[in-house]
Amino acid sequence: MSDRARYDELVETVNENSYLYYVKDAPVLSDFEWDQLMNELLSIEREHPDWIRPDSPSRRVGGTALDAFEKVTHQIPMLSLEDVFSPEELTGWLARAEKEIGSQSEWCCELKIDGLAISLIYQDGVFVRGATRGDGHVGEDVTANLRTVRSLPLKLRGSVPGLLEVRGEVYMDKTSFEALNRRREEAGEALFANPRNVAAGSLRQLDPTVTSQRNLQVFLYYVMNPHERGFETQSDCLNWMASVGLPVQPAWRVSRGTAEAAQFVEEWRDRRFDLSYGTDGVVFKANKLSDWDLLSATSRTPRWAVAFKYPPEEKTVHLDAIDVSVGRTGVITPVAIFQPVVLSGTNVSRASLHNGGEIARKDIRVGDWITVRKAGEIIPEVVKSDASRRDGTQTPFIMPERCPSCGHPVVQLQGEAALRCQNVSCPAQMLARLVHFASRGAMDVRGLGEALAQQLLSSRLVVTLADLYRLTADQLAGLERMGEKSASSLVQALEGAKKRPLDRLLVALGIPLVGPSAARALVGRFGSLEAIGQATEDELSKVEGIGPAIAGSVASWLADSANRALLQDFSSLGLEACTSREPTQPAQPGPWTGQVIVFTGEMASMPRSQASELARGLGAKVTGSVSSKTTLLVAGEAAGSKLDKANSLGIPVISEEEFLSRLQAAKSTL
């Protein structure tokens, strides 16, 4: 077999097994076998880049970040659906439609996916473009980001000639959403309200590599111009899409008459909570496509479809206690404890209260009767307390002054609502810290995962992070599932990790608010740990991209005696990151030199850290707080006190869209 034939075979094999894994949930190959095939494919593509096919699985990895999204005009508008909220409203809507049809109706009942509407274009079976709904008439080209969605086929199965447009929803499943919010809570960041917000923000990231990390999924439910392909019903469309490899939400059926349609609503009222993805209702479409023509559409909504929305489920419970937990970064989180209650199909007895400020704002006291629900039908939350039911036995909750795990004093960093324990050796944090320290974005110690980390801590072979570099092969070989070869490999990996640069060490230490961007900025300005440690908080805050909040976090962390001892230990063990070196040269001037920019609120197209780097790349100074020196504030969604201060100081405020427009214009001058 020739190399080209082998390459084509690999593309087909990997794509077929991706379909079986991500769409059918019936994998045939082991992860190892899949990796072997993928590595062989990538090797051939490196040698023959001109062979790379549009449907190659390598096209799923994130590519170059975009400056902005191109606009896409939908040839047929993406209309909204009319909503009904009660069984009576639904029955009335269906009865009116049936009267216009003139005979007993036939309805295709489909669960309503809580995601972001998209349009996909295939040419001769190959995916060529994807766009958001936008305003229904004009959306944004998010093709690069959609390529990272594993369940979306880059090539359809069988022969699908010509141009095909299908529409559906991009969503995030419950497990991925919970994991993402858990990471954000541990980092002291604002939580996402629901999976739909995450899906929308993730799909509009300018950097596809960010989207690829969000584990998005897709369901398709609509074929454009179905008559042209010989379809007579919506159920024909759904069955055909599934046959060519397009993911279709499986919980659908055809009901005859309004009574059967209403029965579908009741059937899924509770069953929907058992699904791995969020649903907030049922969509009813006239199943016969000929009825679509009879019922027609308004300028905003089709008259052949309607969406029934389930009401949010809330329960009133007695707040028995408020406990506190300690996250990886030391965030102290109060947790409401109450008797188990069924919410969205599962027993719930705990709900995060986020921080002391949130408890005070909602005036929640131990002994109160509280209303609880699941945010996005996934994350338990406390909505409010009922002050009218108090009898004088309720007690206000006071956040602890010391860590409940290690007794270390807790601190509240500037710009944060959460309290933190900054003891790097805190038992409640050590397991997660150890895993984070060894992770790929930090010190990248291959072979050190959570199971082994737990053994190292339980056996007391590791008490502080520095103890990792004291481990011997003999010690490791005595652990469960660690033979001599694995032990020797880990020791070698730890030795190699001593050569990681300082910015990677700063990230690995888990200093609150210090991510890769802030770490690079600090290293670029000061060059060494010694110089960073000797800098005042004011000097740290003046570094581009740092600002008072990060400066306060770094200064507070380095002032802790336990943390200073850890760094000295690292130095004595030979970590190259702890040796002194000269700072790098400052960035070259650019078209935004002289601008002092502050970002606030949630950005949909990219993380604020990425926006800051782009602005700095054009010569701007980016700070974390608004002052008289600020020349521009970029306000995303849910902008807070920074926006108020900017307005009071008369500082110009622009939207995220305006920032992207100015960014593109500035880059064109380079």
Residue positions annotated with a catalytic role: 112
Is 266 annotated to bind ligand?
A: no
Is 406 annotated to bind ligand?
A: yes
Is 498 annotated to bind ligand?
A: no
Is 530 annotated to bind ligand?
A: no
Task: Give the residues across from 321 on adjacent strands.
Answer: 337
Cβ neighbours of 480 (radius 10 Å) = 8
List Cα–Cα distances, 602 to 243, 257, 608, in angstroms.
Answer: 39, 45, 8
Which pair of structure tokens corresponds to residue 489? 């490999």
CA proximity to 617, closest of 583, 635, 656, 591: 591
The number of residues in the chain equals 670
Is 100 annotated to bind ligand?
A: no
Cβ neighbours of 99 (radius 10 Å) = 10
DSSP secondary structure letter of residue 106: E
Which pair of structure tokens corresponds to residue 56? 């190659």
Is 81 annotated to bind ligand?
A: yes
Cα angle 397, 381, 515; round to 5 = 90
- Alpha carbon 508 to chain centroid, angstroms: 21
Q: How far apart are CA 89 and CA 341, in angstroms?
A: 30
With 0-12 / 13-18 / 19 or more C-beta atoms within 10 angstroms meaning exposed / middle / buried, residue 407 is: exposed
Which pair of structure tokens corresponds to residue 459? 């056996």
653, 646 in Cβ contact below 8 A? yes
Helix (H, G, I), strand (E, B) or coil at 150: coil
Q: How far apart are CA 590 and CA 665, in angstroms?
A: 13
3-state secondary structure 225-264: CHHHHCCCEHHHHHHHHHHCCCCCCCCEEEEEHHHHHHHH
Helix (H, G, I), strand (E, B) or coil at 501: coil
Helix (H, G, I), strand (E, B) or coil at 629: coil
Question: Which residues fall within 8 angstroms of residue 372, CB to CB, at 6 or more apart?
Answer: 314, 315, 316, 317, 336, 338, 341, 343, 348, 351, 380, 381, 382, 383
Side chain identity, residue 279: T
CA proximity to 74, closest of 128, 124, 141: 141
Residue 171: left if φ>0, alpha if ψ -120 to 50, beta else—which one?
beta
Helix, strand counts (H, E) of the chain: 24, 24
Is 556 annotated to bind ligand?
A: no
Is 349 annotated to bind ligand?
A: no
Question: Which residues fall within 8 angstroms of residue 316, CB to CB, at 6 or more apart?
Answer: 369, 370, 371, 372, 386
Is 30 annotated to bind ligand?
A: no
DSSP secondary structure letter of residue 184: H
Q: How far apart are CA 358 and CA 425, in angstroms?
A: 28
Is 151 annotated to bind ligand?
A: no
Is 384 annotated to bind ligand?
A: no
Annotated binding site for Zn(2+): 403, 406, 421, 426
What residues are designated binding site?
Answer: 80-81, 110, 133, 169, 285, 309, 403, 406, 421, 426
- Per the annotation, binding residues for NAD(+) are 80-81, 110, 133, 169, 285, 309
